[in-house]
Amino acid sequence: MLGLMQDWPLTVDKILDHAAEWHGGREIVSRSLEGPIVRTTYGAMHDRAKRISNALKAMGVKLGDRVATLAWNSGRHMEAWYGIMGIGAVCHTLNPRLFADQLCYIINHAEDKVLFTDLTFLPTLVERRAQMPSVEQVVVMTDRDHMGAAAALPGALCFETLVEEHSPDCVWGGFDEHTAAGICYTSGTTGNPKGVVYSHRSNFLHTLVTLQRDVMGLSLHDVALMVAPMFHANAWGLAFSCPAVGCKLVMPGQRLDGAAVLELIETEGVTFAGAVPTVWQMLLQEVRARKASFSTLKRVLIGGSAVPEALMRAFHDDYGVEVIHAWGMTETSPMGTLGVLTPEIAALPYEEQLPYRLKQGRTPMGVELKLVDDSGRRLPHDGETMGRLKVKGGFVAARYFKAEGGDILDADGFFDTGDMATIDAAGFMQITDRVKDVIKSGGEWISSIEIENLAVAHPKAMLAAVIGVAHPKWDERPLLLVKLREGESATRAEFLEFLEGKIARWWMPDDVVFVDEIPLGATGKIDKKLLRHRMEGYVLPTAQADGVK
């Protein structure tokens, strides 16, 4: 027997339809690449996105065609998004932090038909245009006055001209909710990047989950600053969640420095924001330098990499801002867990809450987790047993685009995240390392992430990274690499003494090396692969003591 309810396909065009009809006057604020702050509304965005849909149709774009965007967070970028997805085309967000060769590979692999770009990326497109044979048309997301920069790109179209020339009379939707809505490629740290294809249904379900009180808890009364890039798994879903509830949306464009972010927070009355730790560290440096404070900011969502304790304490202790620690990945759309406390833990003093807040958190409804050993045997949730983290749910990838990598699910339908983790009795998951980064010493595992988070709290440290280095007796031992703050100097002993008592003695790094740079990958995470390459052949002092020369 089937239910007798209406068939109302879960397609994302309905999200902007709702925003325009019921929250049409709510503001969307963008820091434009041309300079000025630009203001629009959900109602105006809806009108302009439909004009873009008609422009795409005039270019021959059909259901299932891939349309790429190479752009920062802005109102125009969102208009392109909804204009693409509204007609059943597939919005392919390109990560501009990838190398040009990787971008060309991804564009060709996706077979993008049209490419929307910001002015920033014109030099790369001009240089590599011939290596993008599938791209029939490039649209520059600017106005006529700034199209001079696109003179070297023959045939490029002006975004604002397309908006002016086409009608807003366009029918959206009418296709199956399982239709592809977007593609986001992994960062390709191992092999070529792989395409994760989101469906309209998965994006819609993810949106509903993010709006739960114990997830992002956004409402009409919020002002959200969307720092997380739209090319990182749909800006963590905020590009859908904000219009779904009609909250005022603020976007920083290309400028993510502390001064620019602080200006937007204060002038626009931001109450909620989401970004990676490096953005928040720059912001806090700016606030401290100005001896300022936050007048409206209440909550920040931090993901992308583990939140250092010093960062969480600074927000809470110095500025009264709640930090929500989150974990996810491209393959999970991306929300997987959030560090929202249970009532029992929330009743504890803050110092006793902190160990839980620093974990990646608990799953919302719609996500399942399990820990397994190398043989696939389930492991206990005791907070100590470390295992491979696997995930399952209605917005988790089932396979990659064009079946790259083959079958990616186990026999029970779980996806292997590539992370090592623990889960405690209260349900809090903690990432202990990437499988490829975990340090195996004497048959036991050492978490490089845990040591890094402690080391970066040293007052002289700007960044810290830990990698495993070969050892003749223990197989691998940890090496701590530190980038110091400007003008600082330090010794190996200072950092080892700082770690004393905070980690098990056998976890203590065998050496500390001070470096000028710790490389970050395309998603802002430490590039351990490059670090291991740079330190190839490095001999630990303890290895020398055991006879290795």
* Per-residue pLDDT tens digits for 105-120: 999 999 999 999 999 9
For residue 179, the 8-state DSSP code is: S
| pLDDT on residue 544 | 67
Q: What is the pLDDT of residues 139-172, one digit of tens each?
A: 999 999 999 999 999 999 999 999 999 999 999 9
User: What three-state secondary structure class fits 353?
Assistant: helix
- pLDDT the model gives residue 548: 43
- Residues in the chain where the model's pLDDT stays below 70: 188-191, 405, 443, 522-523, 544-549
Q: Which two tokens stand for residue 345?
A: 């833990």
Catalytic residue among 120, 445, 525, 529: 445
Average predicted confidence (pLDDT) for the chain: 93
Q: Which member of 62, 402, 436, 440 is catalytic?
A: 440
Catalytic residue among 93, 142, 186, 523, which? 186
Residue 153: closest CA among 140, 166, 134 = 140
The partner residues of 390 in beta bridges, in order of sequence, read: 370, 416
Residue 445 known to be catalytic = yes
Which residue in the block uniquely carries the two structure tokens 């490039």? 138
Q: Given this model, what pLDDT does residue 549 score?
A: 39
Residues β-bridged to residue 469: 477
Length of the chain: 549
Give me the domains of the chain, ranges plus CATH numbers: 9-26+36-199 (3.40.50.12780), 437-545 (3.30.300.30)
Given 79, 177, 268, 331, the catalytic residue: 331
Q: What is the pLDDT of residue 188?
A: 56
Active site residue 440: yes
The set of residues, in sequence order, having a beta carbon less than 8 Å from that of 31 and lying 6+ positions away, is 37, 38, 74, 251, 252, 253, 254, 255, 260, 264
Q: What is the pLDDT of residues 461-472, one digit of tens each?
A: 999 999 999 888
331 given a catalytic annotation: yes
pTM for the predicted model, two decimal places: 0.86
pLDDT tens across 178-227, in order? 999 999 998 755 567 899 999 999 999 999 999 999 999 999 999 999 99
